[in-house]
Structure formats: C-alpha cells, structure tokens
Structure 1
Amino acid sequence: MAIRTSGLHHVTAIGENPQRNADFYLRTLGLRLVKTTVNFDVPSVYHLYYGDTAGKPGSLMTFFPWETVEAGRIGSGQATTTAFSVPTHSIGWWKQHLESAGVETTRVTNRDEEDVLGFRDPDGLELALVAHPQGDPRDPWDTPSVPAEHAVRGLHSVTMTVAREADTADLLVDGLGLRFHHQDGDRIRFAAGDGGPGALVDVRVDPSAPEGFVAGGTVHHVAWRTPDDATQKQWREELIDRGLEVTEIRDRQYFKSLYFREPGGVLLEIATDEPGFDIDEPLLELGRELKLPPWLEPTREDIQNSLPALDLPE
C-alpha cells in the first residue's frame, strides 16, 4: 500500500430527536456546530456536524438525528466506542461536569498510560474522553459551559469490535496504511501518522459479541483522511484491486467520499480534507443557517418545512 491515511476524518452516528442531540453535543460536550445541513440521500433528516472552531478533519462527530428511529444494537461489525481527546488535567473536571448534567459515567481508568472516562449520549451511543499524557496541541472551541482550558480537542480514537482479527488487521495495515502499535488483551491498537490523538483505532476481538444492528445509538461509519481528490481516486483503485466493493466517489459538498466495508463488517469511508466547511458561509457564522447542496436548492422550502426547528446557542 503506497497511500497512507494521516488519521481520522470524522465519525458519523445515528440519533433520535434533533434538539436533544444538539443540546448534548453543543451544550454538554461543548462542541461547535460547524454545519447544519441534511442527509443528502434522505433530505427530510438533518445532518449535523460538530467539531472544533473551523471543523477541521479529525475533530468531527456528525449525526443523522431522526425525529423517531428504531434503537440499534451495539455489537460486532461496528465502531462501538468513539473517544474524544481532552487535556491531561481535565478528566476530573469532566467527570464532575457530566454528572452534574445528569450523565452517568464510569470510573476513571488508566489504559495505555492514558486516563479514560466512559459515558453514553442520550441515545446510548458509547463515548469516552481520553487524556493523552503528552497532551493534544489542537485548538478547542470555547463555550460558557465548557471553557477552553478543559474543552474537547478533537477525536482521539475509535474502537471497532470484530469477530476475527487477521483480515481486519490486514486491511488496516495494507489497505489504510496504519501500523501496529501494541496489543493489550483482546484490544489491538493501530496508529496512523504520528500516532497521537486523532490517529488511532483500537480493534477489539470478541467472537462471542452479538452482531451489531445499525440504527439509533450506533455508529454508521468511520471516515479516514485523504489529502485531495487525486489521492482519493488512486486509493479507490487500490482498494478495488484488493477485491473490496467500493462505492463511486460521492460529493458531500464539504469533502468527497467513498465507502467500503472492512472484512469484519465495519463501514469505512475515505474522505478528502478539502474543500472544508467555510465554502458556503463565513467561519464566524458556521452552522447558523441550513445549507443545502445546489441540487437540493430547488426544493429548499419543502425541505425546511419537513425539518423540526432547532433552538441553538448563540
């Protein structure tokens, strides 16, 4: 594999109740809403992008929050935990902050020399906050509820649960250009780029885990970074040569995407870093207005009427 990803681009999950989803990720977790748009394939459903100040690749958690949706089942063939990076001194602050907001948390554990705090979002999606001992230099979004000194820096890692190790590990190394980092029991860590926060995936091997069902409270897919269109096209051909079923390249307005399943069943995406979220609204106004791609603009009125109103913080 000549092409190597530099790390995570975004994680996309499915939720219920758009207002509840926005309240949790904006007010409780203190992320920024960097784009309010719709699911391009089902435009009666929002697609909400949360991230850092500019919505940089590696900071993004996105949701399709339906008004009502069937509950999913977390299990094999899924990304089962999404972890965010926080400052080394902030885990205690976060535990108190989450519990004061009514969020049940796990006890703080130390794994791989990192402090880890687990919890779930209102739909039951498994999340974690991780403090890397060397810190995380990425700039956070500053809010009244979550000040910059404690704020989320971006994605830290994802955990994928699969029934067997070999084929998944082979795809991550030879297909995505990751490298084996270390193994701790049934958990195997792979790293991209410099191997710091935002460039990690943990593969949890559990042959007894139930098969996952993707619906409310589960991750839909995990996206990995590629720098530009040309690299993405070359990568697509290499993945097809490996015998994988790969989609055509799709225009997501703020990046371009292709999708495929790794052998363990997890849906993966290769997403371009370009062009970014400020192509259709100024950086200071990201997320404030409903943005639609050109091919949906003719039906804007119908789309807006089908979406529930959102009360967003200033």
Structure 2
Amino acid sequence: MELKGIHHVSALTAKAFENVDFYTNTLGMRMVKKTVNQDNPSFYHLFYADEQGSPGTELTFFDIPMLAKNHEGTNSISGISLRVADDQALTYWKDRFEELNVKHGGISECAGHQTLPFEDFEGQRLSLISDEQNKGVSAGIPWNKSPVPPDKGIKGLGPVKLTVQHAEATNGVLTGQLGFRKKGQYASTIEGQPDILVFETGEGGNGAEIHVEERKDLPPERQGRGGVHHVAFRVETEAELRQWIQKIQDAKFQNSGFVDRYYFRSFYFKEPNGILFELATDGPGFDTDEEVEHLGEKLALPPFLEPRRAEIEAKLKPLNIRD
C-alpha cells in the first residue's frame, strides 16, 4: 500500500459569499461542488479545484457563520500551498495581488522552489509554489473559464505544513503508519527554531509533500475562521482504503471508521499532536451527480440528504444567481 499524495485540504470560513468570490474571482479556481456539511447540513461545504475537480487539486471550506477568528499556534495545519506552472507565474500573481489589495509577502525560495506567501480575507495562510523545478505527482489543469490566464492558473495543491509541539511523534506516524519518506529539511525563518522537515509519499514532489515544523514556544492553536480543519491523503481504491483502516485501527489511533462521502470514501484519525488526518479514495468523483461542464452550479446533496432538500435549502443563504 502506498498513499499517492495529497487529496484535499479542508479549511474554515465564516463568510461563504465572500469565500466564493475570493477563491473563484481572485484566485481563479473552479467551484466544483456546492454542497453541505454532511454532519451538519445547515451549513455549506464548498469545494474548489481544477477544471475536472481532480483529486489532489481540492481546497474545501466548511462555512460556519459567526465562527471566531483562528488563533495561530501549534498542533495545527499552518500552511497550504497551491501549485502554479513556473517561476514567471509568481511574478504575475504578485502583480495581481497588489492590484487587488491581497495581503502578500515577497517571492522567495523554499525547499528548492520559488514561493509567494499570501492570505485570504480571513487570514488563511496560503502560498503559491512554482512547479518549474518539480518532479513527481502530476498537477491538474486550470479552470478554462477562470479570470486568470491558463498558463498562470492554479493547478492543484502543493506541500502542506504542520506546526506541532512534538515533531518526533508526528514524524513517526508519517513514516511508520503512513509510509512517507523523509526527503530533506530547510531552515526555519524563526531564529532559534529547528529545521523544518520534508516528507513525501507516492511519486513525490509538490503534490505529495508534508512539511513538519516543531515549535515549543507557541501555545496550541485555537481553531476558527482562517484555520484549517484537516488534510486528506490519496488512496487508489476502496479496497485499499479498508486495508489502511485496519492498519490504523490496529495501531489504536482514535478514528472514525469507514465513512462514505458519496464523492469519495474516507477514514479519519488523529495523530499524536491532535491534527486530523483523512485518507480518501480518488473516486467516484464530483461528476457522480453533475456533468463536468456544470460542476458546482447548483446545490448538490448526497442521496441520504436528498429527501431533506427543501428543509436544507430553506436554511441556506443563496450564494449566487444560479441558486
């Protein structure tokens, strides 16, 4: 068994309408599924991805109105990166962020790649990463109706950074239970802190890396809007997922057991520092209930929630004119 890379990252927002505007209009990603939190269908669950909604390109948001602000700290998913084609694309994005008043840093090198850090309107910690020097898991195809030119568009998820109090425990889960390999390390930008370790799985590269930062000088993060809920890793099939479930359960981790999310099958567990990991299958995919050309245009509900559609829609605030 081998995990293929990063499947998706799920974050938190308190403003669904503004979230849609930022991720589709500012970042030019495609909203491939507009659905609800299956565990609490009073709230939206929004999925942004590439043209096809491919695994490894999905950034999702749970909408929780009135959610308090995220307070950064340890035992958290502290950074999400998004892949672009090359170094030149970063220059385009820097200019775009300045034009649109998006808070951002400067272009710099990180672990052998050029990167551009920025934040969304709720302080979500993001960065763009260039694939120019990348080898490994293939990226997706940018949305063909994006306001961003195709050669500059976002192609999928890059490395995800974890900040923990006890790195050895998290590293042990990545390499021992999940089969990641240590790839290297790079210096922290915080003086006096240990190097950040890089782990990869599958074919490796930007679409399959986890970066682990140890910080003993920070309190645990208090999760809120602008924070990240969980990171998911790619599994080829449901049969393989069930083997992973048995392996993690045998190791006595707190876990969810098998979960059918309709668009994929999954399994959740918490690693020793309390970060929520998910393993998710590549299929069936977002075109299970919508044609690829019309992904994300209407509210999609899994079959078990479809009988409650009228009740659910009555509680949701419309996001755009297609609602």
Shared fold (TM-score, shorter chain, > 0.5): yes
Shift of 1:112: 2.0
User: Aligned AA for 1:71?
Assistant: K
User: 2:264 matched to 1:234?
Assistant: no
The structural deviation recorded for 1:67 is 2.8
Q: Give TM-score scaled by structure 1 length.
A: 0.96
| Equivalent residue number for residue 267 of structure 1 | 276
**Equivalent in the alignment of 1:71:** 69
The one-letter code sitting in structure 2 at the alignment partner of 1:267 is L
From 260, 279, 294, give the equivalent of 2:288: 279
Contact (CA 8 Å) 2:113, 2:133: kept in 1 or not?
A: no
Matches within 5 A, 1:1-314: 3-88=1-86, 89-134=88-133, 138-185=140-187, 186-311=195-320
Q: Deviations over 1:42-93 (max 9, x none)?
A: 1110000000011111000000122321112222111100000112120010
Question: Mean alpha-carbon deviation: is it higher for 209-218 or for 14-23?
Answer: 209-218
| Cα pair 1:22 1:312 within 8 Å, conserved | no
The question of whether the paired residues in 2 share the 8 Å contact of 1:10 and 1:58 is answered with yes
Cα distance in 1 for residues equivalent to 2:111 and 2:266: 32
Question: What secondary structure does 1:55 align onto?
Answer: coil
**Count of residues in correspondence between the two structures:** 312
1:257-292 Cα offsets, whole Å, 9 max, x none, are: 111111122110001111000010101000011011
SS at match of 1:310: coil
- Shift of residue 312, structure 1, vs aligned partner: 6.5
Query: Is the CA contact (8 Å cut-off) linking 1:30 and 1:142 kept in structure 2?
Result: no
Root-mean-square deviation (CA, aligned residues, Å) is: 1.5
User: Is the 2:52–2:141 contact (alpha carbons within 8 Å) kept by the matching residues of 1?
Assistant: no
- Does structure 1 retain, via aligned residues, the 8 Å contact 2:83–2:139? no
- Secondary structure at the aligned position of 1:311 is classed as coil
- In the alignment, the residues of structure 2 paired with residue 64 and residue 84 of structure 1 have an alpha-carbon distance, to the nearest angstrom, of 19
**Residues of 1 paired with 2:152 and 2:280: CA distance?**
29
Q: SS at 2:151's partner residue?
A: coil
Conserved 8 A contact 1:72-1:215: yes
Structure 1 unpaired stretches of 5+: none
Equivalent residue of 2:152, what SS? coil
Conservation of the 8 A alpha-carbon contact between 1:86 and 1:130: yes
* 3-state SS of 1:278 partner: helix
Change in Cα spacing, 1:245 to 1:137, as seen in structure 2 (3 Å) is closer
Contact 1:256 1:271 in 2 (8 A): yes
* Compared CA separation, residues 146 and 32, structure 1 to 2 (3 A): same
**2:245 partner SS:** helix
Which runs of 5 or more residues in structure 2 are unaligned?
Answer: 188-194
- Separation in 2 of the partners of 1:213 and 1:312? 35
Q: Is the Cα contact below 8 Å between 1:142 and 1:151 reproduced in 2?
A: no
Equivalent pair of 2:33/2:47 in contact (CA under 8 Å): yes
Counterpart residue type for residue 91 of structure 1: L
TM-score by length of 2: 0.93
> SS of the counterpart of 1:97?
helix
